[in-house]
Amino acid sequence: MWQGADSVQVPVTDRFDWFAQTVSSALMPSAFTPQDAAGFQAEGAFLDLGGARMSRFSFSPLLSWRTPALIRRGDPEQYQLGLVTAGTAWYAQGEGEAELHAGDMVLWDTSRPYKSGSGLDGGTVDALVLQIPKARMPLPSRQIDRLLARRMSSGTGVGAILAQFLVSLAGNGPDCRPLDLAVLANTAVELAVSCLDQQLGAEADASADARAQVMRHRIDAFIEQSLGDPGLTPRAIADHHHISLRTLYTLFQSHDDLQGGSEGVAAVIRRRRLERCRADLARPQLRHLAVHVIAARWGFASTATFNRAFRAAYETTPHAYRTEAMESGRKA
């Protein structure tokens, strides 16, 4: 669900301050100067996706900037990808400066100072912002720096797909379940990385480690989207991504070594399926569905196999877990 408000609901004298506080809270602490404080109008809201966040804004012409002092006040340590959906703007950070029109995208780093302005044509600007934690960005920062405050078009290729996905996510995301939003967050980040990768020409230049991380993100998103398919196997994953089984296992082994674990591909699929089943078993609105139906929804072709896996993971049976969850819900 979108969280935010429209400045129409705020007294005229407080509208600009409300907007400044909303942006500083949703994105990062920044300073603003409106072109017309008395006539200022704005909307601001954010949608928590779990692994990322999307914000949307519509506002009258203004100037904005972020100083080292504001960075010290608060830094979410994110890369933020803005998509202008209406109006005009400009953005400057580091050595980059971009003039933006509807359909253009721009990337910035919350850990660096910036300057920006909107309403070059005197009108309102509408924008969507995808907020990507730096920890989720597989591309090296030295390459990302080359893209800061550089205009990126959404007219063709991956840029067009990313822009269309963000607009669709903004329109339909609030109606999705939290688990679905987490999957969509993975997809949004994957598309953003692919778009940046395309901008950099990084397939030729990026390090082997960066390419491996990009591929791992793609595989993780594919697994999340395919958990309900009983045919989801390591071989199916490898074939879909045009890699060998050995390469697939190596990708997971390398990632697990970094994370301090030892979970293989099949184990990842089983764990995520069990997590979805456990969540559905605890949902009162799904109590009319038999346990074996829920298991089948998440790719378990055999009820016996599901029961054994569930007991091994959670030290109880699916039926006992559901009963306990429903009783706890009634007491609450």
Residues 123-134, mean pLDDT to the nearest whole number: 94
93 vs 49, higher pLDDT: 93
Query: Which tokens sit at 224?
Result: 């999340």
∠ CA 237-238-241, nearest 5°, is 85
Structure tokens belonging to residue 332: 């609450």
More confident residue, 111 or 200: 111
Query: Comparing C-alpha atoms, which of 177, 176, 174 is closest to residue 280?
Result: 177
Look at phi and psi of residue 116 and say left if phi exceeds 0, alpha if psi is from -120 to 50, else beta: beta
**Closest by Cα among 97, 108, 197, 100 to 145:** 108
What is residue 213's predicted lDDT score, i.e. its pLDDT? Answer: 75
Contacts (Cβ under 8 Å, ≥6 apart) of 117: 61, 62, 63, 64, 89, 90
Identity (one letter) of the amino acid at 103?
G
Which residues are paired to 55 by β-bridges? Answer: 46, 129
Q: Under DSSP, is residue 204 helix (H, G, I), strand (E, B) or coil?
A: helix
Identify which of 100, 189, 201, 203 has the alpha carbon closest to the alpha carbon of residue 149. 100
Rounded percentage of the chain residues whose pLDDT exceeds 90: 53
Burial class (CB in 10 A: 0-12, 13-18, 19+), 14: exposed
Q: Is the pLDDT of residue 181 over 90?
A: no
In the chain, the amino acid numbered 230 is: P
pLDDT for position 176:
86
**Residue 197 confidence (pLDDT):** 87
**In the predicted model, what is the mean pLDDT of residues 288-293?**
94
Q: What is the per-residue pLDDT for 153?
A: 87
Contact 37, 16 (CB under 8 A): yes
Answer whether residue 6 shows pLDDT above 70.
no
- What mean pLDDT is reported for the chain? 87
Do residues 52 and 86 lie in contact, with contact meaning Cβ atoms separated by under 8 Å?
Answer: no
What is the pLDDT averaged over residues 155-166? 92
Maximum pairwise Cα distance, the chain? 68
**Average pLDDT score over residue span 267-294:** 93
Strand 88-93 relative to strand 96-101, pairing: antiparallel
Cβ pair 40, 34 in contact under 8 A? yes
Least confident range from 59-73, 136-150, 156-170, 199-213: namely: 199-213
Residue 46: its pLDDT value, please? 87
Torsion of CA 98, 101, 103, 107, to 10 degrees: 20
| pTM exceeds 0.75 for this model | no
Q: How many percent of the chain have pLDDT more than 70?
A: 90
pLDDT value of position 227:
92
Q: How far apart are CA 50 and CA 32, in angstroms?
A: 29
Residue 79 carries which DSSP code?
Answer: E
DSSP track, 229-255: -TT--HHHHHHHTT--HHHHHHHHHHH
Please name the helix (run of DSSP H) or strand (run of DSSP E) that holds residue 174, with its range, or none. none
What would the mean pLDDT of 243-256 be, rounded to a whole number? 82
153 sits in which H/E element: strand 152-153
Q: Which of 80, 142, 139 is nearest to 114 (CA)?
A: 80
Strands (E), 23-124: 31-34, 42-48, 53-59, 62-66, 78-86, 88-93, 96-101, 104-109, 114-118
pLDDT, mean of residues 202-222: 69
Question: Is pLDDT above 80 for 259?
Answer: no
- For residue 264, give both structure tokens: 């293989």
Confidence check: pLDDT of 184 > 80: yes
**pLDDT (tens digit, 9 = 90+) per residue, 302-311?**
999 999 999 9
pLDDT of residue 38 exceeding 60, the answer is: yes
DSSP 177: -
User: pLDDT digits over 311-325, tens only?
Assistant: 999 999 999 999 998
Q: Helix, strand, coil: what percent of the chain each, to 5?
A: 50, 20, 25
Give the pair of three-digit tokens for residue 1: 């669900």
Calpha distance 266→307 (Å, rounded): 17
